[in-house]
Amino acid sequence: AQTVTQSQPEMSVQEAETVTLSCTYDTSESDYYLFWYKQPPSRQMILVIRQEAYKQQNATENRFSVNFQKAAKSFSLKISDSQLGDAAMYFCAYRSYMNYGGSQGNLIFGKGTKLSVKP
Partner 1 sequence: DTAVSQTPKYLVTQMGNDKSIKCEQNLGHDTMYWYKQDSKKFLKIMFSYNNKELIINETVPNRFSPKSPDKAHLNLHINSLELGDSAVYFCASSQDASGFGNEQFFGPGTRLTVL
| 106 binding partner 1? (CB under 8 A) | yes
Kindly indicate which of the ranges 13-21, 41-49, 66-74, 77-85 contains the residues binding partner 1, using the contact rule CB under 8 A. Answer: 41-49
Q: Does 111 bind partner 1 (CB under 8 A)?
A: yes
- Whether the CB-CB separation of 108 and 95 falls below 8 Å is answered with yes
Which of the stretches 19-27, 60-68, 70-78, 92-100 binds partner 1 when contact is defined by CB under 8 A?
Answer: 92-100
- CB nearer to partner 1: give 82 or 113: 113
What is the distance between the terminal CA atoms of the chain, rounded to a whole angstrom? 41
Answer for which of 79, 112, 115, 117 binds partner 1 (CB under 8 A) is: 112
Among 7, 18, 44, 60, indicate the residue that binds partner 1 (CB under 8 A): 44
Spatial CA neighbour of 13 closest among 87, 77, 104, 89? 87
